[in-house]
Amino acid sequence: MQKLILIRHAKTEPYAETGTDESRKLTERGHEDAQAISIQLKSMGLTPDYVLVSTARRTRETFAEIQKVFGQLPHAFSDVLYLAEPEEIASCLEGIPDQACVAVVGHNPGIHDLALRLTEFGGFRNSGAAQQLRVKFPTASVAVFTAKEDDPFNVYNFELSEFFNPKSLTDA
């Protein structure tokens, strides 16, 4: 794997009509934000070869917006990614066949915690991105990691190269 893209789902409604957390849907802003980050990824030439997506409605809807920008992307929905701990996300990544660019659409705190671990153990190429990442990982945030060597996934091999969210795109 040469690139790893960690994506937190976009903005959601506070409560679902069904009352279950898994069925919370994106707000109108969430749909717009997911489009914005997708357009940014595409403009950076970062097209995922494979996407792992949590089965929660909000992550599936975020992924649907990503596909509107990129077209159909090879993907898998995983129950394991729903509110997963960093170790669980990492174990899902270890099982992926060799792909150049893999994206994960998931939830906090697991996505943020994994991004922090990768930055701690693998380092960073962009100090501004690392500083932003340390503060918080808001909805529709994206952390892009680049492999130092062409090896199977491990936390020591990836360094942070980019971090952005819809707000940072409009502030720029």
Q: Quote the pLDDT of residue 32.
A: 97
Question: Half-sphere exposure of residue 15, counting CA atoms within 13 Å on the CB side?
Answer: 3
Q: Quote the pLDDT of residue 9.
A: 97
Question: Half-sphere exposure of residue 90, counting CA atoms within 13 Å on the CB side?
Answer: 18
Average pLDDT over residues 88-102: 85
Q: Quote the pLDDT of residue 172.
A: 57
Reference 26, options 1, 60, 77, 55; nearest CA is 60
Q: Quote the pLDDT of residue 50.
A: 95
Average pLDDT over residues 108-116: 97
% of the chain beyond a pLDDT of 90: 76
Q: Quote the pLDDT of residue 7.
A: 98
Q: How far is CA 90 from CA 17, 24, 35, 155, in A?
A: 32, 25, 26, 8
In CATH, the number for domain 3-171 is 3.40.50.1240
22 or 142, higher pLDDT: 142
> Does residue 24 surpass a pLDDT of 70?
yes
Q: How far is CA 117 from CA 56, 81, 91, 97, 158, in A?
A: 24, 17, 14, 22, 10
Average pLDDT over residues 61-70: 98
Domain ranges of the chain: 3-171
Q: Quote the pLDDT of residue 1.
A: 86
Residues 6+ apart with CB under 8 A from 72: none
% of the chain beyond a pLDDT of 70: 99
